Amino acid sequence: MQGKVLVTGATGDTGRATVDELLARGHRVRALAHGQDERSKQLQDRGAEVVYGDLLDFGQVKAALTGVQRAYFVYPIRPGILQATAYFAQAAKEAGVDGIVNMSQKTAREDAKSHAATDHWLAERVFDWSGVTVAHIRPTYFAEWLLYLAPMIKAGRLHVPFGTGKHAPIAAEDQARVIVGILKDPATHNGKVYPLFGPVEFTYRETAQILSRVLGKSVEYKQVDFEEFKTTLQAGGKASAKGRDGNDFLFQHLREVAIDHQNGMFEGTNDLVEKLGGRPPMTLEAFITKHRRAFE
C-alpha cells in the first residue's frame, strides 16, 4: 500500500486507533475530523495530515478523497448514514479509490427494529451497488462501551437493561488492526462481511464480577428497564448524549439493541481478529486494566 489512506471519524474510537496503526506501519494518513479540538491536534502531532469536513457535504467529501488510494468509512449513530454513504461511494469512484473498509454493526439486517441497524445494512448495500471495492466489518459491542458507563462503574454499579444475553467485547485497537489488514489487500476481501468479536463472551452479570475482581472493589450488577438506564446515560459524564443531534435516533437504537442483546443476537466468537489483524484480541480483563483510571 503505497498511497495515502483516508480515515474518517478520525477522532473517534476506531478512527483514532486506525490512524495510529497505519502510522505505526509507516503509511501516509489523511485523517478526516469534523472540527478542530485537542483530539485532532494530537493526530496532527503524531504525523497525520488532518483535514476538516462533514460527511454530509458532498464537496467536502470529494476534497477529502482526492489523492487517496484507500479509505476507512465510519459514521456515528445518528441520522444521515445513507446520504453519507452515497456521497462517499460516489466520491471514492471519482477519485479512483481502490479499497474501502466500511464500519457496520453486528445486528445490521433488513428487518432490524433499530433504525440505525437497518440503515447500516442498507449502507452496506449502497457500497455494494456502487461497484467500489469494499469490505464490511460488523463488530459486536465495543469494549469501549464500558468507558461510556464509567460514571456508573465508578459509583460501584452496573445497572443495565441487557438481560442474560452475552457478547464478547472487542477493543477499538483490535478492530483497527483488522481494518489495516484488510486495507493492505482490499481486492481479496471485496464484498465480504466480517463479524468481529473479542475472545470471550460474557453476560453483564459476569462483566460486573470481572470489573469487581480487576478493580478490587464491588461493582453491583442489576437488571433495570430501559427508561431508568436512559436517565442514567443522560445524567452522567461521557455517557451523556445531551447536545448531540439525533438523541431520539440514538436512544431508539439503544432500546432496540438492548432487546436484541436479551435475545442473544450479539452472541458469538470467531478467530477473524487474529486472522485478519495478526494477533488475538484483547481480553476484557486487559482492557479494564489498561483503562483502570477511568473506572476508579
Which is it for the CA torsion 115, 117, 118, 122, positive or negative? positive
Which residue ranges of the chain lie beneath pLDDT 50?
237-245
pLDDT of 240 reads 41
Q: Do the Cβ atoms of 64 and 71 come closer than 8 Å? A: no
pLDDT of 247 reads 85
pLDDT of 239 reads 41
pLDDT of 1 reads 76
CA distance 40 to 79: 23
Nearest to 105 by CA among 60, 149, 155, 170: 170
Q: Tell me the whole-structure pTM to 2 decimals.
A: 0.95
Nine-digit cell string for 201: 463472551
φ/ψ of residue 231, rounded to 5: -60, -40
CA distance 175 to 158: 25
Nine-digit cell string for 23: 502510522
Residue 96: left (phi > 0), alpha (psi -120 to 50), or beta? Answer: left
First and final C-alpha spacing in the chain: 42
CA distance 158 to 200: 19
Q: Three-state SS for 281?
A: coil
User: 287 burial class (0-12, 13-18, 19+ CB within 10 angstroms)?
Assistant: buried
Write down the H helix ranges in the chain: 13-24, 38-45, 58-65, 81-95, 115-130, 145-148, 150-154, 172-184, 204-215, 226-235, 247-262, 272-277, 284-290, 292-295
DSSP code at position 149: T
CATH class assigned to 4-139+171-196+268-281? alpha beta
pLDDT of 246 reads 58
Q: What are the extents of the domains in the chain?
A: 4-139+171-196+268-281
**For 244-248, which contacts have Cβ atoms below 8 Å and span 24 or more sequence positions?**
244/78, 245/78, 245/79, 246/77, 246/78, 246/79
Q: Three-state SS for 73?
A: strand
DSSP code at position 266: T
Q: Three-state SS for 3?
A: coil
For the segment 178-227, what is each residue's pLDDT rounded down to a tens digit? 999 999 999 999 999 999 999 999 999 999 999 999 999 999 999 999 99
CA distance 69 to 35: 23
